[in-house]
Structure 1
Amino acid sequence: MEIPLSKPDITEAERQAVLDVLASGRLSLGPYLERFERAVADYVKARHAVAVSSGTAGLHLSLIASGVEPGDHIITTPFSFVASANVILYVGAKPVFVDVEPDTGNISPEAVEEKIKDEYVRSDGNWVCWKDGRRLRGILPVHVFGHPCRMDEINEIARKYNLIIIEDACEAMGSLYFSKSQNRWLHAGTISRAGVFAFYPNKQITTGEGGVLVSDDEGIARLVRSLSNQGRDDMGTWLVHPRLGYNYRMDEMSAALGFVQMERIEEMRSKRRRVAALYNEILKEIEEIETPPEKPYAEVNPFVYVVKLRIPGRDELMNHLVSNGIGTRPYFTPIHLQPYYSERFGFRKGMFPVAESLGETCFALPFHNRLTEDEITYVAERIKKWLSTRKTTIRGTEDEKTKEAFETKPL
């Protein structure tokens, strides 16, 4: 049996919409773009939505539109796809990493405030790093794997220290967060001044490549729309560019695909949650595997299905799965241990132990809308098969440290 790691859910409706665009001859800045933006805004209950060429582009422009300047510090997570830190460098600012929660993998609000108290002092209305004199400008939380961060706590920290928040919701389209401060459920990505979704083929919906920035702030939305279109003025005047911009537009074929996907989003969300629930039920009997959490304040629309191996041997297990036709990948190598970051900033192993532990123990299992119970059962059986061999090996050794590692419970 061959089970791919992911697979987009494309129907005849999506194919026809793309063909309609091709037949129209209007392949950019057409009517589907506006429809798609409106569909996203309406779904997440945001006032404005601006489609761009990728989630990375949306995060980059959101930092510019929020007034982040060269030299500023932005607190963020080391446990994420590298783009969430790269965009901070794009604007000449500095990513300041703090450790994460051991269960969700999300940025720890406690670690955020501890970092501020340890390294920043108040000066002329700003919080300034005593080490280099640079301003702390904001926080960029990432809703890892689709599970919302503890945004009430993060927002309170932002208010206390006069910081902006940009949500990286690139993995969290359709995930909900219950805000005690507002006493209601909110869409991830809408709990700050701006949030960004991404639509790579393995995401909750896809546009092939693409992203959307959402905000209730009209000024941010107008500026991002201009910046994404080569700095063209917001009246759309041809070849008038009052500011430096970028070619971050979403094309019309992608918008058409996304528009139809948005019409189906609740259907697809239901499928993804069903698949995750099946995995949880089938894997619960395997004590060596820790399944993804869903906290009481969260209703997760999963991006991927990532589990933790509670004993040593993650990479061996992954190789075993691949050899049995099962797609799998490690999630994530912490950003601070990526070669570029360790060489430029001097990060080293041991600086963010929780993120590093997750990076060494987490791995993704096949996950898409149409995964069947038989396929999930096959994955579980292959895991059990490897574990049976592993247990025999470990229990037969005289290495007490290895035995102790096998018996270790989750963090």
Structure 2
Amino acid sequence: MFVPLARPDLTDLEKQYVLEVLDSGQLSFGEKLGRFEDAFRQQLQIPHAVAMNSGTSALHVAVKALGLKSGDEVITTPYSFIASSNCLLFEGAVPVFVDIDPHTLNMDTRQIESVITPRTKAILAVHVFGQTCQMDELMRIARKHNLHVIEDACEALGAEWKGKQAGTFGDAGVFAFYANKQVTTGEGGILVTQRKDVANAAYGLRNQGRAPEDGWLEHTQVGYNYRMSDLQAAVGVAQMERLSELLRKREEKAERYKELLREYQVPVTLPQALEECKISWFVFVVILPENADQAGVIRFLHDKGIQSKPYFPAIHLQPCYRKQFFFEAGAFPVTERMAKRTIAIPFHTQLTEEEQRYVIGQLAVALQKG
């Protein structure tokens, strides 16, 4: 049996909308792009949504639109996909890491104020694995110190903190649509914001610096080719129409995994969502026992036809970050410890009960072997 780590959930509706774009001859800045952005505005009850070709592009635009520049410090987490920090480096801003909470795996908000300096301009919060950060405290700190807040909600479409949706707290929120996300466009991202000035900047930055009111070849600012095509948007429109179904399916698969972990008495734990958080299931990550061989478990599962990955390696120990910032092991001990113990196992809407039982059964055997 082969069980892939992820698989997009695509139907005839996605195909129909893609064909409509192909038949229209309008492959960029067409009707589907507008519909996709409208779907996000309606889902999040937020006035502005600007779609782009990747979550990384949208994060970069958020940084640029908020005026963050060389030498500015931005507080963020070292336990994330590397794009959440790279987007700062694109503008010469400096990521200032704080360690994570060992239970939620999100940024430990108790540490934020200890690293604020006169150069601190923003907090970039990452809602890891579809679990929101402790947003009350994070926003309190931001307001107290007059800091911008960017929410990397790339893994958290549908997640909530005290009933308010992830991505809608800060100056800008960003979602991503890679093939393993809750909603996919193949590649893609979107910036959402309450602020008209941020939205206007984003519209221009994604389109070679052309503001909405500019002429065809008029460029108000230096921008980028970060546009989302209508082919991507067409898939996204269909996915957003199916959002409730997709989130429900993912929750069902997660609950079945939990039941199987109990049934097989697998000695792992799961990241713990805070009581105020409604999780949106992006991946299914297990925390191995402290003495477990992470690489050995992954190899064992691979040999059994089960894809799994270490989620996440510590950003500050990535070679490019060690070279630029001279980070050493031990700088963020909780992140480093959890990075060695967390793995993502197959998770998508089409997993069968047989496949999930096979995955958990083999995980149990892998841990028994040590």
Q: Which runs of 5+ in 1 are unaligned?
A: 121-127, 129-134, 179-184, 391-411
- Pick from 280, 283, 295 the counterpart of residue 301 of structure 1: 280
Q: Aligned runs of 1:96-245 on 2, under 5 Å?
A: 96-116=96-116, 120=117, 128=118, 135-178=119-162, 185-245=163-223
**Is the deviation greater in 329-338 or in 278-287?**
278-287
Q: Secondary structure of 2:192's match?
A: strand
The ranges of structure 1 where at least 4 consecutive aligned residues each deviate by more than 6 angstroms after the TM superposition are none
Aligned to 1:15: 15
Aligned to 1:30: 30
Aligned to 2:262: 284
Q: Distance in 1 between matches of 2:250 and 2:304?
A: 24
1:377 shift after superposition: 0.9
Q: Distance in 2 between matches of 1:340 and 1:139?
A: 22
Aligned length: 368
Aligned to 1:403: none
Letter of the aligned partner of 1:37 in structure 2?
Answer: E
Mapped pair 1:344 → 2:328: no
Aligned to 2:243: 265
1:218 shift after superposition: 1.1
Letter of the aligned partner of 2:303 in structure 1?
Answer: S
If you compute each CA radius of gyration, which structure gives the higher value, 1 or 2? 1
Deviation per CA, 1:118-147: give whole Å up to 9, x if none: xx2xxxxxxx1xxxxxx2101001000111
Q: Secondary structure of 1:290's match?
A: coil
Q: Distance in 1 between matches of 2:67 and 2:93?
A: 11
Letter of the aligned partner of 1:263 in structure 2?
Answer: E
RMSD: 1.0
- Pick from 277, 291, 301 the counterpart of residue 321 of structure 1: 301
Letter of the aligned partner of 1:256 in structure 2?
Answer: A
Letter of the aligned partner of 1:73 in structure 2?
Answer: E
Q: Aligned runs of 1:47-126 on 2, under 5 Å?
A: 47-116=47-116, 120=117
1:236 shift after superposition: 4.6
1:292 shift after superposition: 3.2
Q: Distance in 1 between matches of 2:268 and 2:74?
A: 34
TM-score normalised to structure 1 length: 0.88
Q: Distance in 2 between matches of 1:173 and 1:45?
A: 13
Deviation per CA, 1:281-317: give whole Å up to 9, x if none: 1113535211232321111111111111013212111
Aligned to 1:365: 345
Deviation per CA, 1:345-389: give whole Å up to 9, x if none: 100100000110111000000000111222111111112222333
Letter of the aligned partner of 1:270 in structure 2?
Answer: R
What percent identity do the matched residue pairs reach? 46
Q: Distance in 2 between matches of 1:381 and 1:69?
A: 50
Q: Which runs of 5+ in 2 are unaligned?
A: none
Contact 2:105/2:271 (8 A) holds in 1:
no
TM-score normalised to structure 2 length: 0.98
Contact 2:266/2:364 (8 A) holds in 1:
no
Q: Distance in 2 between matches of 1:351 and 1:305?
A: 27
Q: Distance in 1 between matches of 2:37 and 2:214?
A: 17
Q: Distance in 2 between matches of 1:205 and 1:233?
A: 28
1:2 shift after superposition: 0.9
